[in-house]
Structure 1
Amino acid sequence: MSILNLSWLDPDDATSGFPDPESALDDPEGLVAAGGDLSITRLLHAYRHGIFPWYQDDQPILWWSPDPRGVIYPQQFIAHKSVLRTLRKAQWQITIDQSFRQVMTACAAPRSYSKSTWITADMLTAYCQLHALGHAHSIEVWSPDGQLVGGIYGLSIGQIFAGESMFSRATDGSKIALMYLCAYLDTWNYTLVDTQLPSKHLSSLGGSSLTRKEYLDHLAIAAQQQPSVHAWDQHSTLDIHAWLNAQTS
Structure 2
Amino acid sequence: MALYQLSSDDLTFPNPQLALDNPNGLLAIGGDLSSTRLINAYKLGIFPWFNPEEPILWWSPNPRGVITPAEFKLNRSTKKSIKRSNFSFTVNQAFSDVIQNCAKLRVKEGTWISDEMISAYTKLHEEKYAHSIEVWQNDKLVGGLYGIGLGALFCGESMFHLATDASKAAFWQLCELAKKFGIQLIDCQMQNSHLQTLGIYEIERNDFLTISAELQQASISSDVWHKRQLKYEW
Please give the alpha-carbon distance, in whole angstroms, between the structure 1 residues aligned to 2:229 and 2:101.
Answer: 24
Alignment counterpart, residue 185 of structure 1, candidates 178, 187, 196: 178
Please give the alpha-carbon distance, in whole angstroms, between the structure 1 residues aligned to 2:78 and 2:209.
Answer: 32
Alignment counterpart, residue 234 of structure 1, candidates 220, 227, 233: 227
Please give the alpha-carbon distance, in whole angstroms, between the structure 2 residues aligned to 1:67 and 1:115.
Answer: 24
1:145-168 Cα offsets, whole Å, 9 max, x none, are x21111000000111100000001
Q: Which SS does the other structure have where 2:225 is aligned?
A: coil
Please give the alpha-carbon distance, in whole angstroms, between the structure 2 residues aligned to 1:221 and 1:169.
Answer: 36
**Paired letter, 1:140:** E
Alignment counterpart, residue 133 of structure 1, candidates 96, 103, 127: 127
Contact conserved, 2:87 with 2:137, CA < 8 A, in 1?
yes
Structure 1 unaligned runs (5+)? 242-249
Please give the alpha-carbon distance, in whole angstroms, between the structure 1 residues aligned to 2:205 and 2:110.
Answer: 28
Alignment counterpart, residue 108 of structure 1, candidates 88, 103, 121: 103
Matched residues, number: 234
Please give the alpha-carbon distance, in whole angstroms, between the structure 2 residues aligned to 1:227 and 1:196.
Answer: 22
Contact conserved, 1:183 with 1:240, CA < 8 A, in 2?
no
Asked if 1:118 is matched to 2:112, the reply is yes
Please give the alpha-carbon distance, in whole angstroms, between the structure 2 residues aligned to 1:132 and 1:163.
Answer: 17
1:26-85 Cα offsets, whole Å, 9 max, x none, are 111101100000000000000000000000011110000000100011011101112211
Q: TM-score, normalised by structure 1?
A: 0.90
- Equivalence map 1:37-48=2 (5 Å): 37-48=32-43
Alignment counterpart, residue 201 of structure 1, candidates 178, 185, 194: 194
**Paired letter, 2:34:** S
Contact conserved, 2:11 with 2:40, CA < 8 A, in 1?
no
Alignment counterpart, residue 15 of structure 2, candidates 14, 20, 23: 20
Please give the alpha-carbon distance, in whole angstroms, between the structure 2 residues aligned to 1:224 and 1:92.
Answer: 34
| Displacement of 1:6 | 1.2
- Identical-residue share of aligned pairs (%): 43
**Paired letter, 2:101:** A
Q: CA RMSD in A?
A: 1.4
Alignment counterpart, residue 30 of structure 1, candidates 5, 25, 43: 25
Q: TM-score, normalised by structure 2?
A: 0.96
Q: Which SS does the other structure have where 1:79 is aligned?
A: coil
Deviates more, 1:76-85 or 1:213-222: 76-85
Please give the alpha-carbon distance, in whole angstroms, between the structure 1 residues aligned to 2:5 and 2:106.
Answer: 31
**Paired letter, 1:115:** E
1:176-232 Cα offsets, whole Å, 9 max, x none, are 000000110111101111000011111111111110001000011011112223211
Please give the alpha-carbon distance, in whole angstroms, between the structure 1 residues aligned to 2:82 and 2:52.
Answer: 37
Asked if 1:10 is matched to 2:7, the reply is yes
**Paired letter, 1:49:** L
Structure 2 unaligned runs (5+)? none
Q: Which SS does the other structure have where 1:131 is aligned?
A: helix
Following TM superposition, the consecutive aligned residue runs of length 4 or more in structure 1 with deviations greater than 3 angstroms are 235-238
Please give the alpha-carbon distance, in whole angstroms, between the structure 2 residues aligned to 1:97 and 1:233.
Answer: 7
2:86 counterpart residue number: 91
| Displacement of 1:234 | 2.3
